[in-house]
Amino acid sequence: MQKKKVVLVPLDPVHDIGLKMIKRGLEQSGHETFLLPPDLSQEEIIKIIIDCNPDVVLVSRTLGYGVAEILGRFIDLMEVSGVREKVKIAIGGMAINPELAAELGFDAGFGPGTSVEEAIAFVENREYFAESTIEKRVKKEIIKGYDYQFKNKVIEKQLDLIVDSILDYVEDKTSTAILRAQIRKQILESENEREKQKLRTDYSKLCDDTIKAFYESQKFREKTRLLTVEELIDLDQYIIHVSSKMKAINIQHVDKNPVVFIQYGTGCPFMDIAHIKACEAWGADGVVHFDPSWGARTEGLLEGHITHEEDGSVITYENLKIIKDSLAPSTLWQVRAHRGLNTPEIVLLAGKIGADLTKINIVYGALGGGTDPERLTVDAVEAIKYAAQFGMAYDVVTNEELCGVPAYKAFAGMLIVSKLGLRLGAKPILQPLFCNSPEVMVSGQMNDNYVDFNAAKIISLRNIINAPIWAGAPIGFLTQTEDRVQSSIMTALHASLASSLGVDAISIASADEAFSGGPISVSARIDTLQATQASFRFFGNADIVPTHQAEKWAKEIEENIEQVLDNVIRRGNFISALYEGLLGSREEGAYPGRAGKGSVMKNIPED
């Protein structure tokens, strides 16, 4: 590499830090640098450049109105002095981009986020392939390195007994959801339109009246409609336009920082994609699809690109497909299926379209999500089989904690559904609540700090099993207020606590999520993404140290889990245990769901 002579010109006295970093990088690469003092006149700078005869001049200046003319004159002075022809010149600073560099007459323009390597490549006349482009980001792994070995052998044994009983129970049972998933699979795999139509007729017979009306007479459910062709064309143009401009920001600062997910479900796939693109641009690693609450209580799924006037984006093959197609290749995508009457079919669709993750939890879905425990148990086993078949890991979220169920009971349920998954060849991810739950509000475990009890949960799970942990969902929930700064700080601190505890992934809220009083705004999403990034930067590999209370509570949680599992075993039937409150009682706020009650059918094997 030929040694280059580089003059670094801080035309902006307060913003020459970038130049100093570039100077160091250039010198380390063997180049000769001259960093000028910041108080020279333009004529003095030109004189130095003439005398120094450099190969490259790098100018630093933040842009504002009127500054463009100062830079334009500088380039003119270079030109009329005859040095412009001899040197390459670049401008760097806030608000600088290639279009501005062209307008100002520079050879290149470097804006915020430019790496030292990019500047060195410019000096060395090399083409720079930005590592930071969104297309080049690598998809992160959550489950890698986990062998699911139980450290607590007592619990492992207990779980095995319960899983045996679940599998025995469901063996000869089926449901309309399972049958619909089978028909949907045939529809997706058939290339014959007549056959597809016949299958749709069969499908609609297994649906609620509202869904039946759609298949039989194209009648849409209230507050839903198809996206128009024009809207879909606009969407494609929007995606192309936005994707071409996106650079990837890394939220993580050190390796141990967890993978960061956001949740979307505006009701409109177009709007969802806009939220996703903004979050990708600000560094989100993954996105979670939220469907409408009525979707969980309705037998059957719709078809087409459907938009919905309220929260929750309607799950159809077409909606999921356009969302998936809009994602950057590195973005992890989860379609949640954990709580309703269409669980197997949603997991099937997610798998067919190429989702990375899904979400299945019988206990939460049955006790906090409104679905009948027996029905969801039968459906979830089928759903987990699909997840295993498509290689999709699934998380088991303990959102029943938000109803008031104590963590140890929710964890017992989570471990049962996880062990069930392991038995069926799937990869579960533990998703404990990482926030201020009703349990601790009543019992006071977070009166002093938000650290110890969250730490206790993670420590207890780590003491039980070597499995991935995804803190949910969203972290810091019920610690955030309507104040966006406060809310962002709470999210960021919970993120750093999760990182300190070695958690693999987190879901974060927008700064206005808890108190938006309407749709979540994109700017509020960026608040928490940036706050999380700043917090990761702040703590780096430094840890947040819980008090001795964390270990004590962790031990208590672990002992209580054993006790709960023992109770379930003694009851002899997992589903009865759910109905009877062993994994969360009515007094604790858990009510067995009624949707789909009595709908489990005897599975008649085909001859």
Partner 1 sequence: MSFIIGIAGTAKNTGKTTTTSTILNELRKNNIKIGLTGIGYDGEELDNITGLPKPRLLLKKGMIVATAQKCLSVGTAGFNVLETTDISTPLGKVIIIEVTQEGLVVIAGPNKGRELRLILDKMTRFSCDFIIVDGALNRIAPMVETDGLILATGAARNSNINQLVEETVYFYKIFNLPSVTKEEKDLVKGLNKITLIERHQKNYFALDYAVLIDKTAVSQIVSKIFQYNTIYVPSLISQSSLKELSAAINKSWKGKTLIVKDSIKLATGGTPYEVYSKVEEILSFGGNIKVEKSIPIIAISVNPFYPKYRFDINNYEPGFIDSKELYFSMRNAVPTTVVDVKRYGCFDLIKAIKSFYKPRE
103 binds partner 1 (CB under 8 A): yes
**Phi-psi sector, 263: left (phi>0), alpha (psi -120 to 50), beta:** beta
Contacting residue, 3, 24, 73, 153, with partner 1 by CB under 8 A: 73
b/e code 281-291 from CB counts within 10 Å (16+ = b):
bbbbbbbbbbb
Measured over the CA atoms of residue 405, residue 411, residue 413 and residue 417, the dihedral's sign is positive
The answer to the question of residue 68 lying near partner 1 (CB under 8 A) is yes
CB hemisphere CA count around 388 (13 angstroms): 14
> Is 71 or 155 the residue whose CB approaches partner 1 more closely?
71
61 binds partner 1 (CB under 8 A): no
Q: State the Rg of the chain over Cα.
A: 28
Q: Which range in 92-100, 248-256, 519-527, 598-606 contacts partner 1 by CB under 8 A?
A: 92-100
Cβ nearer to partner 1, comparing 84 with 494: 84
Residue 108 within binding range of partner 1, rule CB under 8 A: yes
The amino acid sitting at 409 is K
Asked if residues 296 and 338 have their Cβ atoms less than 8 Å apart, the reply is no
Which of 68, 232 has the CB closer to partner 1? Answer: 68
50 is a site residue for partner 1 (CB under 8 A): yes
For residue 40, state whether it binds partner 1 (rule: CB under 8 A): no
Residues 6+ apart with CB under 8 A from 559: none
The nearest distance, CB 50 to partner 1, in angstroms, is 6
Q: Which of 532, 458, 510, 450 is nearest to 258 (CA)?
A: 532
Quick one: which segment of 100-108, 185-193, 276-284, 305-313 binds partner 1 (CB under 8 A)? 100-108
Q: Which of 395, 374, 364 is nearest to 590 (CA)?
A: 364
Task: Select from 39-47, 254-262, 274-282, 332-340 the region that touches partner 1 (CB under 8 A).
Answer: 39-47
387 to 416, contacts with partner 1 by CB under 8 A?
A: none
d(C-alpha 159, C-alpha 259), whole Å? 29
Give the residue, chosen from 46, 271, 534, 601, that forms a contact with partner 1 under the rule CB under 8 A: 46
According to the 3-state scheme, what is the secondary structure of 300-331? CCCCCCEEECCCCCCCCHHHHHHHHHHCCCCC
Structure tokens of 441? 């509000």
Query: Maximum CA pair distance of the chain?
Result: 94
254 binds partner 1 (CB under 8 A): no
Cα–Cα distances (Å) from 196 to 184, 189, 200, 558, in that order, read: 9, 9, 6, 51
| Nearest CB to partner 1, comparing residues 28 and 81 | 81
Tell me, rounded to whole angstroms, the distance of Cα 92 from its chain centroid: 33
Partnered with residue 226 across adjacent β-strands are: 306
Interface with partner 1 (CB under 8 A), residue from 39, 99, 255, 607: 99
Least distance from C-beta 288 to partner 1, angstroms? 34
Q: How far is the CB of 349 from partner 1 (least distance, A)?
A: 36
Let me know: does 61 contact 12? Beta carbons within 8 Å.
Answer: yes
Nearer to partner 1 by C-beta: 105 or 354? 105
Nearer to partner 1, 109 or 584 (CB): 109
**Among 30, 98, 112, 329, which residue interacts with partner 1 (rule: CB under 8 A)?**
98
> Quick one: which of 38, 105, 111, 581 contacts partner 1 (CB under 8 A)?
105
Among 13, 30, 37, 64, binds partner 1 (CB under 8 A): 64
User: Is 77 among the residues that bind partner 1 (CB under 8 A)?
Assistant: yes
Angstrom distances, CA of residue 358 to CA of 346, 347, 349, 429: 9, 7, 10, 10
**What is the smallest separation between the CB atom of 268 and partner 1, expressed in angstroms?**
26
Q: Does 80 bind partner 1 (CB under 8 A)?
A: yes
Residue closer to partner 1 by CB (options 68, 544) is 68
Helix, strand, coil share (%) of the chain residues, nearest 5: 50, 10, 40
Strands 428-431 and 470-471, by their bridges, are unpaired
Q: Which helix (H) or strand (E) holds 271?
A: helix 269-281
- Binding-site member from 1, 20, 27, 79 for partner 1 (CB under 8 A): 79
Nearer to partner 1, 97 or 389 (CB): 97
Q: Determine the interface stretch with partner 1 among 106-114, 340-348, 440-448, 517-525 (rule: CB under 8 A).
A: 106-114
Which of the stretches 104-112, 188-196, 461-469, 564-572 binds partner 1 when contact is defined by CB under 8 A? 104-112
| Smaller CB separation from partner 1, 20 or 73 | 73
Q: Binding to partner 1 by residue 65, rule CB under 8 A? A: yes
| Residue 109 engages partner 1 in binding (rule: CB under 8 A) | yes
Distance separating alpha carbons of residues 65 and 71, to the nearest angstrom: 11
- Distance CA(223)–CA(294), nearest Å, equals 12
Cα 219–chain centre separation = 34
Q: Would you count residue 63 as binding partner 1 (CB under 8 A)?
A: yes
Contact call for residues 173 and 378 (beta carbons, < 8 A): yes
CB 476 within 8 A of CB 470: no
Stretch of residues binding partner 1 (CB under 8 A), selected from 2-10, 42-50, 256-264, 429-437: 42-50
Least distance between partner 1 and beta carbon 60 (Å): 16
To partner 1, the closest distance from the beta carbon of 48 in angstroms equals 10
Choice between 43 and 195, CB closer to partner 1: 43
| CA nearest to 573, candidates 83, 104, 61, 169 | 169
Per CB under 8 A, does 101 bind partner 1? yes
Asked whether position 111 contacts partner 1 by CB under 8 A, the answer is no
For residue 223, give both structure tokens. 């507050």
Our finding on whether 81 is near partner 1 (CB under 8 A) is: yes
* 72 is a site residue for partner 1 (CB under 8 A): yes
- The CB-of-345 to partner 1 minimum distance in angstroms stands at 42
The CB-of-86 to partner 1 minimum distance in angstroms stands at 10
Identify which range of 70-78, 316-324, 364-372, 384-392 contacts partner 1 by CB under 8 A: 70-78
Q: For 367-429, what is the HEC assignment?
A: HCCCECHHHHHHHHHHHHHHHHHHCCEEEEECHHHHHCCCHHHHHHHHHHHHHHHHHCCCCEE
Site for partner 1, residues 434 to 473, rule: CB under 8 A: none
Q: How many residues bind partner 1 (CB under 8 A)?
A: 35
**Which CB sits closer to partner 1, 46 or 478?**
46
Binding site for partner 1 (CB under 8 A): 43, 46-47, 50, 63-65, 68-69, 71-73, 75-77, 79-82, 84-85, 95, 97-109
